[in-house]
Structure 1
Amino acid sequence: MIPVRGYEGARVAILGLGRSGLSAAHSLEAGGAQPVCWDDNEAARAKAEEYGLEVLDLAREGAFEGIACLIVSPGIPHLYPQPNRIVAAAQAAGVPVDNDIGLFFRSFAGAEWNDFDQPPRVIAVTGSNGKSTTSALIHHILREAGRDAQLAGNIGRGVLDIDPPEDGGAVVLELSSYQTELARALTPDIAVFTNLSPDHLDRHAGLGGYFAAKRRLFAEGGPDRAIIGIDEAEGRFLAGQLSEGAADDRVIRISVAEKLTGPGWQVFARKGFLSEYRKGRQAGSIDLRPIKGLPGAHNHQNACAAYAACRAMGLAPRVIEEGMRSYPGLPHRSQVIAEAGGVTYVNDSKATNVDSALKALQAFGSIRWICGGLEKEGGLSALAPALENVACAYVIGREAAHFAMQLEGIEAQVCTTMAEAVRRAHADAQPGDTVLLAPAAASFDQYDSFERRGEDFAACVAAALGSGQ
């Protein structure tokens, strides 16, 4: 646990008692603060009381008298589409609003660091797609290289639940826009921006607000090294803002769309080969094609980002390559769950938006594509470049018929349920095919999370293979 510093003896309100809220409460207590907790969910309040935490209705009049700060869980809006009523009350009372990420950065460094030979470092990863894989890959490579490393944030442990770092240790954080937009302290040593595509637009009042939330990690965080994916205009803009010139190697540009040249520091992947260039000369290369845990161009972009971060941490190219080769991949992210009769079954349930689904479709050949769910804004037209890889689409979800109508130029079968989609895809698949779950939609019309959807897919595949249908 990381005890929260700076609130000794103060009353600090916490809104939302999920993982991050409860973790913040315990860390505040450990640092000498007095947490005051609230959640609209009665069961969540009861759980907090079981832990001995004070529960107080923060919506009542005068609730913020004597409160030093309000800590808000990531899912609770503080500005758009409209502020939560309790957040609005805190703002009206002049009470600062923060989150667990802000508490972490203000509390991470301890007095024991004075005795360390190398201070611990924080690598923070944000972007639209690939954050989890990039974060987990960096963590895996560091651990394989013998470094003390912990994985936290949107993946792994809560940021305040981690152990105090050791001499020379590293903490790898996956950070969403919900986390970066509100944190009052953001001071990573290395910050990574993978890419940007439309997502959470209602929460951020449009693409500009969404990008601004990501940009805070760099503009306000002031990292020593910034690793920027420049395959979109926003990434190129951000790299230009942070750099003092073409030779400024504090900014490492990454790409899977083009070969990068120039006097600076670049990492790019073309046709399955990763290359690192510094000062106009090649400094390292890796053949990514045989690495099963990183299939497709989108994972090659993740590999470029992780490679750059590990190089910034001082690891040699061959050490990084060894770590990549042993990387098993993450559940629900281009995860090979079965191979039978020449057919590969891949679970990419995390492909919850059109951009991530497009990348999944581009990673494989002849595809039996299971898709559908709760559609996000923008429609499905952006998937067109990859539909030539699709032999047939098997559409699930409550609005499966409407989803299928948008898939022009390919056969699309309305299945509604996962079990029926897997049954049909399995029956139709030929040797060389890939049965791919890449929904291009949220899961909440049928499942409470993308993980549950992926687990259902895996169970249905196991049932189909076991029955021999």
Structure 2
Amino acid sequence: MIPVRGLQGQKVAILGLGRSGLSAARALAAGGAVPICWDDNPAAKARAEAEGFICQPLKTPSDFDDIARLIVSPGIPHLYPEPNPVVAAALEAGVPVDNDIGLFFQSFATEAWNSFDVAPRVVAVTGSNGKSTTSALIHHILSEVGRPCQLAGNIGRGVLDLEPPIDGEVVVLELSSYQTELARSLTPDVAVFTNLSPDHLDRHGGMGGYFAAKRRLFAEGGPDRAIIGVDEAEGRYLAGQLSEGRADDRVIRMSVEQKLTGPGWQVFARKGFLAEYRKGKQTASVDLRQVPGLPGAHNHQNACAAYAVCRSLGLAPKVIERAFHGFAGLPHRSQLVGEKNGVRFVNDSKATNVDAAAKALMAFENIRWICGGLEKEGGLAELGAAASVRKAYVIGREAAAFALKLPVAAEVCTTMARAVEQAMRDAEAGDVILLAPAAASFDQYDNFEQRGEDFMAEVARHL
């Protein structure tokens, strides 16, 4: 646990008592603060009370008279699509609003670091797609070379559940826009921006607000090194804002769409090869085509980001390349789950938006595509990558309407069981049956993991 520093003896309100909320309450109490908790869910409130935490309503500005700060769980919208009444009451009372990420950064460094030979470092990864794989890949590479490291944030443990760092340790954090938008302290040593595509637009009031939430990791924190994907206009803009000029190697630009040259520091992947350029000269090359855990251009972007982070931490190119080959990938992200009669089955249930699904489609050929669910803002127009799709099998409550918007032949299946059955009926040797929904899962499942597990269970039943 990371005890929260700087709030000793003060009352701190916590809104939302899920994983991060309860973790924040424990860490605040460990640091000498007095947590005051609230959640509209009676079961969540009961769990907090069972641990001895005070629970009381937070409804009006007067409820915040003796509160030093309000900590909001990431799943709770605070401003859009409409102001949260508890957050509004805190702000009206003049109480600062924060989250567990802000508490982590204000509490991570301690006096114990004075005796360390190498100060611990924090790597923070954000972006629309690929941040989980990138974070896990960085953690894997560091583990392979024996560097002490921990993984947390939007993946693995909550940030305040981490162990206090030891000499030379690296903490790798995956941070979503929900986590970066409110944190009052954001001070990573290395920060990564993978890419940007429309997602969570209702939560952020549009693309501008969504990008602004991601940008805070760089603008508020001022990392020593920034690794920026420049294949979108927003990434190029961000790199330009952070850089003092073309030769400023504090910014590492990365791409999977173009060769990057110039006097600075660049990492890019083309035709399956990763290349590193510094001061206009190539310094390293890695063949990604034979790395089974990183298939497709989208994973090559993840490899570029992880490579750049590890190079900035002092690892040699050949060391990173060897570690790539031991990476098994993450569940529900281009996960090969089986093969029968020359037909492969791939689970990419994490492809919850159009951009992620398009990248998954570009990674394979001869695809029997299982897709559908709760369509997100922005529509399905960008699914031009569906050229490699032989047929789509659409699931979800609105499967018929979803199918009409697809640029390929589609069969309305509604359920996962029928989609897998029909795709297997049609499949031929050399085909890939790919789950890449391009939609949220909440019309049929609790989360994308449950959807992916359903797909794998149906595949296993037939295999």
Do the structures match in fold with TM over 0.5? yes
Aligned to 2:399: 400
Q: Is the 8 A contact 2:16 2:39 kept in 1?
A: yes
C-alpha offsets along residues 210-249 of structure 1, whole Å, 9 cap, x if unaligned? 1111111001110000000000000000001100111000
Aligned to 1:55: 55
Aligned to 1:222: 222
C-alpha distance in 2 between matches for 1:108 and 1:33: 16
Aligned to 2:235: 235
C-alpha distance in 2 between matches for 1:125 and 1:289: 24
C-alpha offsets along residues 281-336 of structure 1, whole Å, 9 cap, x if unaligned? 11111100111110000000010000000000110001111111100000001111
C-alpha distance in 2 between matches for 1:62 and 1:290: 62
Aligned to 1:440: 438
Q: Secondary structure at the match of 2:418?
A: helix
Note if 1:424 corresponds to 2:435.
Answer: no
Q: CA deviation at 1:61?
A: 6.4
C-alpha distance in 1 between matches for 2:245 and 2:75: 38
Task: Spell out the pairing of 1:9-88 with structure 2 (5 A cutoff).
Answer: 9-59=9-59, 62-88=62-88
C-alpha distance in 1 between matches for 2:393 and 2:283: 45
C-alpha distance in 2 between matches for 1:375 and 1:359: 17
Aligned to 1:98: 98
C-alpha distance in 1 between matches for 2:178 and 2:35: 22
Q: Secondary structure at the match of 2:238?
A: helix
C-alpha offsets along residues 62-92 of structure 1, whole Å, 9 cap, x if unaligned? 2112100000001112212222111110001
Task: Spell out the pairing of 1:157-176 with structure 2 (5 A cutoff).
Answer: 157-176=157-176
Note if 1:461 corresponds to 2:448.
Answer: no
Q: Secondary structure at the match of 1:26?
A: helix
Aligned to 1:375: 375
Match for 1:195: what amino acid?
N
Aligned to 1:346: 346
Match for 2:392: what amino acid?
A
Note if 1:319 corresponds to 2:346.
Answer: no
C-alpha offsets along residues 187-218 of structure 1, whole Å, 9 cap, x if unaligned? 00000000000111111111111111111100
C-alpha offsets along residues 76-109 of structure 1, whole Å, 9 cap, x if unaligned? 1221222211111000100100000000000000
C-alpha distance in 1 between matches for 2:221 and 2:273: 32
C-alpha distance in 2 between matches for 1:124 and 1:284: 24
Aligned to 2:411: 413
Q: Secondary structure at the match of 2:244?
A: coil
C-alpha offsets along residues 37-81 of structure 1, whole Å, 9 cap, x if unaligned? 000000000000111111111125621121000000011122122
C-alpha distance in 1 between matches for 2:119 and 2:302: 26
C-alpha distance in 2 between matches for 1:349 and 1:65: 45
Q: Is the 8 A contact 2:4 2:31 kept in 1?
A: yes
Match for 2:400: what amino acid?
A
Aligned to 2:147: 147
Match for 1:435: what amino acid?
I
Match for 1:4: what amino acid?
V
C-alpha distance in 2 between matches for 1:355 and 1:158: 27
Moved over 3 A (4+): none
Identity of aligned residues (%): 74
Question: What TM-score results when the alignment is normalised by the length of structure 2?
Answer: 0.99
Q: Secondary structure at the match of 2:391?
A: strand
Aligned to 1:292: 292
Q: Secondary structure at the match of 2:158?
A: coil
Cα distance, 1:61–1:300 mapped onto 2, change above 3 Å:
closer
Match for 1:128: what amino acid?
S
C-alpha distance in 2 between matches for 1:14 and 1:441: 31
Task: Spell out the pairing of 1:272-283 with structure 2 (5 A cutoff).
Answer: 272-283=272-283
Match for 1:398: what amino acid?
R
Aligned to 2:178: 178
Equivalenced residues, count: 463
Q: Secondary structure at the match of 1:160?
A: helix
C-alpha distance in 2 between matches for 1:13 and 1:89: 12
Q: Secondary structure at the match of 2:161?
A: coil
C-alpha offsets along residues 414-441 of structure 1, whole Å, 9 cap, x if unaligned? 0000000001111211111100000000
Match for 2:351: what amino acid?
A
Note if 1:387 corresponds to 2:392.
Answer: no
Q: Which stretches in structure 2 are left out of the alignment for 5+ residues?
A: none
Match for 2:218: what amino acid?
F
Q: Is the 8 A contact 2:373 2:395 kept in 1?
A: yes
Match for 1:270: what amino acid?
R
